[in-house]
Structure 1
Amino acid sequence: MTGTHARWLDEAQERARDVLAPAVLRYIAEGAREEVTLGEAEAAWRAVRLLPRVLRDVRTIDTTADLLGTSSPLPLGIAPMSLQRAAHPDGEVAMARAAAEVGVPLVLSSNAGSTFADVAATGVTWWMQLYASPDRDLTAGLLEDAVTQGASAIVLTVDTPVVGTRYPAPEGGSVWDVADRSWVGVNARTPPVGVSPKDRDKAMDLVPEDLGRFSEMTGLPVVAKGVLRGDDAARAVDAGAAAVWVSNHGGRQLDQVASTASCLPHVVGAVAGRAPVFVDGGVRSGLHAMVALALGATGVFVGRPMFYALASDGVDGVRRALLELGTELEESMRLAGAASAADLAGVVSGPERPDLR
């Protein structure tokens, strides 16, 4: 069914349900265990209340952002996701083309089904998301290849020493019953043992010093992704992180962790301007993105909606999704009396948040 939603992004999700295999749809939509964190993500952004300013000149709205040294027309980016070739035959390449056309960065999963070279050929600004391996030689090889193909940053996922448990869907079946091996891990120098992330061990010995080591190894800025606590954020910056990314892995790792909306102010406060702070998790509109900026984020990354947009309409769908978010952001800023992200300081009013330091 199409044409029933006021927002195209909502319609794209509905269209994706018609084209994705049920097991793939479940894999993208699912969260860890009882999905408590997953269920709270979007509501946490909606719970934030605003105190808009008035009598402000908002004829011109500046939505540009400096994202790790690259000027972007929007403070948005595409979060890393695997199995994009299950959404569209061109997978990450199609996603990259749309990101390049809009001018926002793409974060490419370690488990991507498209090669670094093919993604880079689109001209997109791309960052490599890294699951560090217990075998640091394997990690070093992957990083070397990413640098060779033009990655401009490394996004180290720090919240995945193991893959969190996700319960089977009531109707049964697994995405790995339908997933093609070519959809996963094509950039690994050693072919993956299996298609499931559980088949590939993650480093359980990551320490803050690894951030500096990976930066020195690659010559690139390294982002610590998966930080929810202020004290961890401060340690990451002290150890050389170029940015901190507030994320709970889309509710797919430890269940019952706090929402990113509630954690963001504490991380921003702990970092104290020494590094940019990015955020993802439950962002479903330009208004949500504006709330994140008002809470101190420099960049806002979106995952699942981009996957649905890719499944719905390929490159055109992702482009349209990004532009719709941008249009919503611009309107929200005008209504908040903010001509730029800097003008959003003080616009948020509540709610009370727990002390997560």
Structure 2
Amino acid sequence: MPPQLPHPDTVIHLYRHLLREATYVPPYCRPWVTERIRSKFRDNRRPNIHKAHQSLRYLRSANAGHVSRTLHLCFLASGRLGKRRRQLADLYLAKEPVVDSDALEQKPLFPTAKDTGSSRKHRPEEPPIQSWLDNWDVQKIKAIAGAQVRNPSINWPKQMRKTYDPAFVLPKENAWGRPFTPKVMKRKEQKHYAKLLADLMPPVPQGEWDLLQALSLGQAETDMFNVPSRRTVATTPVASQDSATNTAPEWNWEAYVTKPVRAVERGNSRVFKSLSGACDSDPRGQGKPIGVKAFSPRRLRRSIYGRVWEASPILTKAKGKFQVTFGGARRELSPVTNSDLQFFSGVDEKGASPKGPVAHKGNKRLNQAL
């Protein structure tokens, strides 16, 4: 549970609380969270105080051990969600620029009447239909979408649809059996790729992919798996006197009269308790919050870093084709102990025993059943 920290009143006080909470997040996403907080306050003269308070509660809940919120922060830092995801898509999925003037001259800016297939000489040449899709490499998008569909371990944060190829999705004729005009087909193609890009996991740099692999396999440095402990909360003399006299807080009966009980007690529920930081004074209270776990190095490696690595691909090109490699370690079963081997003595790999049922020591009821 997050401790009962004082509520920040001023903007600078809120800014310091956010930076302090950023030091307790996992080491992988700590630089991104810190830089995001600084840029939000420096770029905006009047920051949104309401959203800043929401972010502060979110960070406190994640640092208290909420697994889903901590995983969401790592997804934002790795570019699986949010602003960095769009930046990685613009960097790795855009068309490569022309390197020399010869390649630029090979492709004319406007097609001629012969290129468009027009047989009318008096018909003026129409410029091609300009689209935002012209700046994206469609082959890269198809390669990543196909690899993402074939990888069943990627089920969050985005689920790719199985029919990603526009040749099998987009219709070629209208309701009267006539082909669509080029303008309508271009608009349908844009809409299809816009939905496809919304679910696509963009590639990550090779160095970051190697770091995620080391974190998932436990081969990184020990500091990457250690979360610093929280400092003790400073108390004012007035608060220390109140705790010494054990004075109970005053009951706000006006809220229970003017508002529904579910609205007043919302912060004490198990779902929102990690966000509000409320504690049960009565042992018959709601109980422990939902989704809060203790972050051990093993939990960070398997529940956080492993899932981020599974959703992070790298894009390479070999022999004119794009190859996509998603992360993911093959989890092997732990070896069987000597005490458990007696149950499998005389049994082959298929589970059959050539000598019939095997007698088990110390289990008379099981031997009688056999």
When normalised by structure 2's length, the TM-score is 0.20
Max Rg structure: 2
Q: When you count helix as a share of all residues, which structure comes out higher? A: 2
Q: When you count strand as a share of all residues, which structure comes out higher? A: 1
